[in-house]
Structure 1
């Protein structure tokens, strides 16, 4: 187990944040005992998107602390593609990495349908870590028989990122506290967007896509697609209908830049000023920096989210039963998800911790890239207030069909009732 020591407070580069308090950094310990007879082991890690471990230097640090260990990571940008491939490999029992990432929207599928495919981490002592994580994060990865099937990485507390330079050109206020009051509700946010369009710079919309608006709104709800009994309720859930209606209004009012998230065009839009606001979970801060680059420093800021707190995203690290190096894999994910490493990851990449000790460490964090926004406070308050969400086995599938339907309204002008009907058919075809 890593031993903590105080790290000196220091200036950070463009991609980092400033912590008001001292961070704890991991010290060395005994060498990692490997699953290999000669003491050397290569741990394979297969992820989606950007978990930030390589970029933050955590793999390199772990290898130095544990001579003989080599970490090799593969990743898939699109989570849907990753999940489909993972299902194929789980069914066949081959081609699996020692460590597999699991998105929060898929964790219920693992605990309810695939517990026999993953190691119960209690076998390696994971039960002793329970008090280090938020209850909701820990319980979501717990199987029906009490198995611990993954260790939590980040969570996705939400805020609103916005371009102060574009707001000024449109005659809107730029102070984060004033904006938080003006868009305390989603209706207020949409109305401010309509004001923005009246004087907005050419080729600049209010938001990147109505899909991101929908995702952030539904992330504020305890029940979204399933109820606590495991029943599908998305068609009759009033909160989901409100998120749909608001997203439709935004589309029909021309507030959207009509961009697919993660597409090359979307990536370029951060620097081009194609949209003035974007709902941003904590993990998106690093992405914005990477896409907007040095020129974006000081043009972005962060305010509280309309409509209260919510969560969008977060993941787990799991060890498949077919993994070659199970014990070594567990030791790695235990270290990566420890409070010290989660705090470092937030400092360098913006991924907000799920470990309670790490949340306390980053409470005073500010980000110079975003006009010294108090991100530790903004995202910390959001994390504390976010509801404990009911997770279902097909959350991601239902969400994808709804955002596909909203895209039809946004780009093709499809009648909202017709698009809703298409979403229903899509869900039926996907999950039966």
Structure 2
């Protein structure tokens, strides 16, 4: 979720760094805060996450600690998944320094299931877990071929578009969410055309969209064909979904409508805070990110509308590494955090959409979140998108391929002025390196 991992081309350097990190983790493991119970019998459970999952923000840790006085929960957050994920792999390989509960992003789940499944507890057998509680496709994503379920679903990413009404109004564009949704319905070219119109009267120092990568991810979110087919074969070169997303991103990258920011970098966060762009692709989990990064001054300035096409971008799972010191307590926590009533509280706080369908009928965003997004019908928007999103096939290097395309190919066109052909060539070269070809 909320950005992906890209392997370095310098495999020797990567191996050396990994070895060093492993030795350091091993050396420090005896000092790990969650390593053992204290003399008073209290236990610290470390929860490793990336970005803003919303578990802490919704008060779930505080609630759990009150009902479990012997437990203290410490959340260890790494902002970008492309920094979080390689660290997770290093911890799993060494068995040292692992968090008691570890978040896993959906684009990494296939690789974790196929290559790291033995290093996780089987949560499908945990007390209180019912398979029917979770979306069937979400459950399958985290289940090995021999039936071991290594992660419980937290959220999914039905993707809308969030926009700043104040900037739209100053640019002379309509601000009504339904009118906008109708204007670009079914056609991302219409969204791009609106961006061109925005730029004619754009408020000073603002752009229509944060980045071309944002558009790539939003279009790709609705793709029926992704980077792999059902047999596990890479099809990224010929995938129609990839081609459509690339073409839309190139129109933005070569136009004058993008702020040219790299998503999840500090400059991107500053762009939110300083109102530097008017629209951003908005999967459900992004709503909380926008609130946190824009701050109080953004209340009532942001709104939300359906995107041209329905799709799912991102989502996460919670797993329990077998190398953890408190597997029983960690499993109980992971199960509790992913129950419908808890995930409904996360939605109420920041609109992250649960992977537990039984919660959908009762979902209500908090008054603060609803007010932040101009009283948009958040539940109805995301629920409608979730119901119409095509099922997707994820491959073992799905995250790395996607990151190569956005952070190499798209960025070279957008920030360095390369041609789309040069950008795609650079992305392909990186992908082949990632795949070891």
- Whether TM exceeds 0.5 here: the answer is yes
Hey, what does 1:44 align to over in structure 2?
46
1:344 equivalent to 2:345? Answer yes
Aligned pairs for 1:49-64 (under 5 A) are 49-64=51-66
2:404 to 389, 401, 409: 401
Normalised to the residue count of structure 1, the TM-score between the two structures is: 0.89
* Residues 127-154 of structure 1, C-alpha deviations (whole Å, 9 max, x = no match): x411111111111111110111110001
Aligned partner of residue 130 in structure 2, secondary structure: helix
Structure with a larger share of its residues in helix: 2
Hey, what does 2:432 align to over in structure 1?
428
After TM superposition, give the deviation of residue 376 of structure 1 in Å.
Answer: 0.4
Alignment RMSD: 1.7
Distance 1:223 1:134 in 2: 21
Aligned pairs for 1:361-380 (under 5 A) are 361-362=362-363, 367-380=370-383
Distance 1:180 1:46 in 2: 37
Distance 1:409 1:311 in 2: 25
Hey, what does 2:239 align to over in structure 1?
237
2:121 to 116, 119, 122: 119
* Residues 149-189 of structure 1, C-alpha deviations (whole Å, 9 max, x = no match): 11000111110111111111111111111100111110110
Mapped contact 1:409–1:415 kept (Cα < 8 A): yes
Hey, what does 1:72 align to over in structure 2?
74
After TM superposition, give the deviation of residue 365 of structure 1 in Å.
Answer: 7.2
Mapped contact 2:347–2:365 kept (Cα < 8 A): no
Distance 2:433 2:284 in 1: 33
After TM superposition, give the deviation of residue 39 of structure 1 in Å.
Answer: 5.5
Distance 2:119 2:273 in 1: 43
Hey, what does 1:29 align to over in structure 2?
none
1:417 equivalent to 2:418? Answer no
Aligned partner of residue 410 in structure 1, secondary structure: helix
1:388 to 365, 386, 391: 391
Hey, what does 1:30 align to over in structure 2?
none
Mapped contact 1:49–1:78 kept (Cα < 8 A): yes
Distance 1:251 1:426 in 2: 20
Hey, what does 2:150 align to over in structure 1?
149
Structure 1 gaps of 5+ residues are 1-33
Hey, what does 1:170 align to over in structure 2?
171
Distance 1:164 1:45 in 2: 37
Hey, what does 2:213 align to over in structure 1?
211
Hey, what does 1:329 align to over in structure 2?
330
* Residues 249-293 of structure 1, C-alpha deviations (whole Å, 9 max, x = no match): 111111110011122222122232211111111111111112222
